[in-house]
Amino acid sequence: MAYMDNTSKISNAQVVMREINLPREEKIRPFLLNPKTWKRLLPIAVSCAILIYLFWYIDIRQCFRALINADMMIYVPALLVLIFATFLLDTQNLAATLEHFHYPLSWKNAFTLRGVTYLIMTIDYSVGMGVLIYYLKKHLGIPVMRSTGLMTFFNGITQKALVYMAIIGLIILSPTSALLHNLLIFFIGFAILDFLFIVALKMLPSRGLALKIRNLNLLKVFHEASWRTYGILLFWRIIYYVFFIVFFYVAVRAFNMQIPLIALIAYVPIILLVISLPIAPGGFGTAQATMLVLFKDYGTNMDIMAFGLTYTTSILVLRYLIGLSFAKHIKGLPAGEVDTNKQEI
């Protein structure tokens, strides 16, 4: 494994495109006829449609007034603590995941990598993920599809952590509403199927078609990881998301809402799961709609909407500013997207 410690510069996405060797027709296809154009525009359209629908029923002037009346002396310090703590934990989570698969990454390089991807993923998530994968290939000697598998595993740990937290929270809350009860059943079913999927991968025989399935780089990491690895990485990811629960508990008070901690233990993971869905950039629209459903007993629609918009905007802006502080480590901003469906050895 080639490990290079001199990683102060991360190459731009034009280099990534050459490394991945995108087909020529993908590069020259007219803008509006390129599927990747619509792939990027569709989430924006969905986000705008949801927000327009919400503001059709919520007076935007009252929402703006609720934002003006919010106590920023409560919100801003809580936000700064959240951003600082979660950046540290996010970096640790990423480095720990790579270390468990025997790809050690120094804290300095881990901070640089996470900071740069914060910046690029704010602009375009797929490009940011492509740069991260290229970095792992270039500096840690990890093949592209292996890197893609590692990042798929990392995202899987994230989803597992949120699902398990939502299950625990909903059981503690003992919801009476049909929606939350159905969500609890869904999450339990998802957790069981996910567990059985990992067990099945680990039990596949090492011969014939089963061996080919086991050796797929997108799946290999899931059965390579020991149960101890799953436990440790889930623990740290849950700690990461605990900070969001504490933040919500404090921050909603700035918008005249008093939401019990027990309720937030259930609600916050659900909100973060909805935000993580790739149907609206940054969760704009989906986050506010989810909060309006879950927080309806604790505040007015205007206060909830004002908090939701402030939350998604402030998270996006501050993560972008963190990324800007690492911008000197980029030779140039990305201009393309990695096609991770092409395997490279």
What is the pLDDT at residue 138?
79
Cβ atoms 79, 243 nearer than 8 A = no
**What are the angstrom distances between the C-alpha of 144 and each of 19, 23, 70?**
9, 16, 47
- Residue 97: predicted pLDDT: 92
Per-residue pLDDT tens digits for 313-329: 999 999 989 888 887 76
pTM for this entry: 0.83
- Predicted confidence at residue 288, as pLDDT, reads 95
Q: What parts of the chain have a pLDDT lower than 70?
A: 1-38, 122-126, 329-345
Measured distance CA(74)–CA(84) in Å, rounded: 16
pLDDT at 344: 35
Name residue 10's beta-bridge partners.
330
pLDDT of residue 131: 76
| Residue 338: predicted pLDDT | 41
Angstrom distance (rounded) from CA 152 to CA 167: 22
* Cα→Cα distances 250→76, 89, 214, Å: 10, 20, 46
pLDDT digits (tens, 9 = 90+) for 264-303: 999 999 999 999 888 888 888 999 999 999 999 999 999 9
HEC per residue, the chain: CCCCCCCCCECCHHHHHHHHCCCHHHHHCCHHHCHHHHHHHHHHHHHHHHHHHHHHHCCHHHHHHHHHHCCHHHHHHHHHHHHHHHHHHHHHHHHHHHHHCCCCCCHHHHHHHHHHHHHHHHHCHHHHHHHHHHHHHHHHCCCHHHHHHHHHHHHHHHHHHHHHHHHHHHHHHCCCCHHHHHHHHHHHHHHHHHHHHHHHHHHCCCCHHHHHHHCCHHHHHHHHCCHHHHHHHHHHHHHHHHHHHHHHHHHHHHHCCCCCHHHHHHHHHHHHHHHHCCCCHHHCCHHHHHHHHHCCCCCCHHHHHHHHHHHHHHHHHHHHHHHHCCHHHECCCCCCCCCCCCCCC
d(CA 43, CA 49): 10
Which two three-digit tokens encode residue 244? 């969001």
pLDDT, position 188: 97
Domain boundaries defined on the chain: 34-329
Euclidean distance between CA atoms 206 and 204, whole angstroms: 7
